[in-house]
């Protein structure tokens, strides 16, 4: 492994982590109060939480976190989870587990790939 490999892995991990935090918060809010997250408002909540998570990682650590990756990854994951409300009972525990797994399968790779945008930021020492 060369010196850039750990930095690449960190960038991808932060994108995936921010995506999952946004998705988990989306599903928890959906189980508690479904009317709050149904529709565009819920996707906006997930987008903001994913972006804030990446921003917090970027500010608190030296890891190359991409705010864009956290936002888009959590948006896509939450959209996929929200769409599972058409098949499963929306706001139920079944929706949270099965829909959340479906959303994570779609959003986490997107967040990981977009996490590479964080490498555009110069390395901090």
pLDDT tens-digit readout, 18-38:
999 999 999 999 999 999 898
Structural domain tally of the chain?
1
Hey, what are 18's tokens?
């921010």
Does residue 125 fall inside a structural domain? no
Dist. CA 19–CA 14, nearest whole Å: 8
| Domain that includes residue 112, residue range | 25-118
Does residue 12 fall inside a structural domain? no
Q: Does the pLDDT at position 1 exceed 80? A: no
Does residue 53 fall inside a structural domain? yes
Nearest to 83 by CA among 30, 8, 120, 45: 30
Residue 112 CB partners (closer than 8 Å, separation 6+): 12, 13, 15, 16, 19, 69, 73
Does residue 73 fall inside a structural domain? yes
pLDDT tens-digit readout, 38-85:
889 999 999 999 999 999 999 999 888 899 999 999 999 999 999 999
Dist. CA 99–CA 19, nearest whole Å: 15
DSSP string over 41-98: HHHHHHHHHHHHHHHHHHHHSSS---HHHHHHHHHHHHHHHHHGGGTS-TTSHHIIII
Does residue 74 fall inside a structural domain? yes
């Amino acid at each position: 492994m060369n010196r850039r490999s750990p930095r690449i892995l960190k960038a991808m991990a932060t994108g995936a982590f921010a995506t999952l935090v946004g998705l988990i918060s989306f599903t928890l809010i959906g189980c508690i109060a479904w009317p709050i997250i149904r529709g565009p408002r819920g996707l906006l909540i997930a987008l903001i939480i994913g972006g804030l998570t990446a921003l917090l990682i970027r500010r608190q650590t030296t890891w190359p976190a991409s705010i864009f990756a956290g936002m888009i990854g959590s948006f896509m994951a939450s959209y996929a989870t929200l769409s599972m409300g058409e098949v499963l009972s929306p706001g139920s525990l079944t929706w949270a587990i099965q829909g959340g797994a479906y959303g994570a399968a779609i959003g986490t790779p997107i967040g990981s790939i977009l996490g590479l945008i964080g490498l555009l930021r110069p390395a901090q020492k």
